[in-house]
Amino acid sequence: MQTIEIVISGRVQKVGFRACVRRIATDLKVCGTVMNLPDGRVHICATGELMILEKFVSMVYGCPRAVIRDLRQSEIQLKNFEDFSIIKGEGNISTGL
């Protein structure tokens, strides 16, 4: 198991992107969170098996109406989540990406 942090820019807010990401994560049994950032990017924190996380990242590109311009990903310290949830509103986290 590992945890990755993903920051995505492009047209990814107000297009149903977070719901699409949660659907993909739930289907793949990936746990974590997805939230909008104040600057228009989306932040994802996801925990799962390495091969499943790779599939998760590749499937995110298929979300309809979203246009991903840049996706930055890094491995972070393992975090345990019960499920995959959407954090409403805009989070003010500092990302290393």
Largest CA distance in the chain: 32
d(CA 35, CA 19): 10
Q: Is 36 a catalytic residue?
A: yes
Question: Which of 11, 22, 23, 36 is flagged as catalytic?
Answer: 36
d(CA 91, CA 58): 24
Q: Is 80 a catalytic residue?
A: no
> Which residues are known to be catalytic?
18, 36
